[in-house]
Amino acid sequence: MTISYKDIMKRKIVALILAAGKGTRMKSDLNKNLHMLRGKEIIRYVIDAAKVAGANDIALIIGNDAEIMRERLGEDYIYVYQHEQLGTGHAVMQAEDFIKNNIDSDIMILLGDGPLITKESLEKMLLAHQDGADATLLTAVKENPFGYGRIIKSEEGHIEKIVEEKDASKEEKLVKEVWTGLSCYTGEALLESIKKIDNKNAQKEYYLTDTVKYLSGVNKTVKAVYINDEKETLNINDRLALSKAEKLLNQEYLEELMYSGVTIIDPLTTIIERDVKIGRDTTILPFTYLTGSSTIGMNCEVGPYTHLNNCEIGDNTTVNRSSLFSANIKNNATIGPYSYIRPNTVVENGAKVGQFVEVKNSIVGKNSKIPHLTYVGDTRIGERVNLGAGTIVVNYDGFNKYETIIEDDAFVGCNVNLVAPVRIGKGSLVAAGSTITKDVPSNALAIARSVQVNKDFWAKKRRDMRENLRK
């Protein structure tokens, strides 16, 4: 019988996520933890990692933009307010009630701005912790440890304390093993130690790291667990770090897609968010941006210079140099170049939406064609319909939107205005240049344009008159 990770866990696990800092280096009016990273807030990555690692309850310590944080993240979490930012230890002090309520649990302390932490690293920490530790630290070895708290050990290898950069001696600054900011405590050890720390340091702040010195001093067991992948220690404190995280996560997912049978011509110019799913033998061309929960079928070609967001693309479909939002494109369809497909649009099997065409809230029927220079809004197009260049569906009167219906096998000539609400009957033909304001019966020819008048020699007379005026 296979023993799962959850079977090994002896104690309940909860998480306390520090997210009160505004992040002044982001140069933003928005809390740094709420900045978007590949389609979701930075802090959601940390929350998700905590959940899959087994956290039953999650408390978020918030301060700046507290109400915005609650509004964005919802009410599934316990919120703890830190009205003054006096250090990481002070932040945890604000969660005393949460700690007391989980006194028999193991409490992970995580950072809201550290989105690259993985469930594997958290599980590794928890496994070590539940094997007899009072506190367990996730550590890393860095060639340039500047800015990190150093892990100071005794000659026997026991952890004695963590020393922050500004309080470290010259010898301590030479230590390359650093604390990542992530840790796990028993509820008892955390409650006891958090009451023993003070702000007698260079920053005049309450350091969470001082709990380690206290616990070591009273012969509690403090363990260290190494993070193998240094990228997991990246914290988003400025726009450069945000860009770096974006690149790392994007490259990781592009590699997964390529191993699964997707061709990506140029990974350096292709961005695909994690929730996008792509079928095998599909090719993604350069400068393509795929976001949201988009799905792309098999044997498609998407790009170059294409943006899809929350779209469903069927098999054997081509999307070229176009922008599509919340649209459903079926099998064997052709989109672009330079199409703009807006929400609630369905393009059925074998249909074509061509260059410089905008479609919104409409159905384009099977094997129908909208080749170029056309606007279609609030329209139901049947099968095998052709809309000529310059066709405009006039769906808005300044107050309300109206529906247009174009039935199967209709043919609409170039430069036609269809003034909604209007129905173009099955098999009918609308003459080029017409403005249609009334329904067209099936199999009829509709002509709605003024009678052509030719005035002989008028153009020559006009030129002669202009020439005389110049003399």
Q: Of 310, 364, 309, nearest to 335 (Cα)?
A: 364
Q: How many helices (H) and strands (E) does the chain have?
A: 11, 39
Q: Quick one: tokens of 411? A: 């043919």
For 181, the 3-state DSSP assignment is: strand
Active site residue 372: yes
Element holding 321 (H helix, E strand): none
Sign of CA dihedral 151, 153, 158, 164: negative
CB atoms within 10 A of CB 19: 30
* 8 A C-beta contact, residue 212 and residue 162: yes
CA distance linking residue 218 with residue 193, whole number of Å: 10
- 161 vs 154: CA distance, rounded Å: 9
- Spatial CA neighbour of 319 closest among 298, 297, 336: 336
Q: Is residue 32 within 8 Å of residue 21, measured between CB atoms?
A: yes
Strand-pair partners of 358:
340, 375
Catalytic-labelled residue, pool 90, 129, 307, 372? 372
Which residues touch 45 (CB under 8 Å, ≥6 apart)? 37, 115, 116, 117
- Which positions are annotated as active-site residues? 372
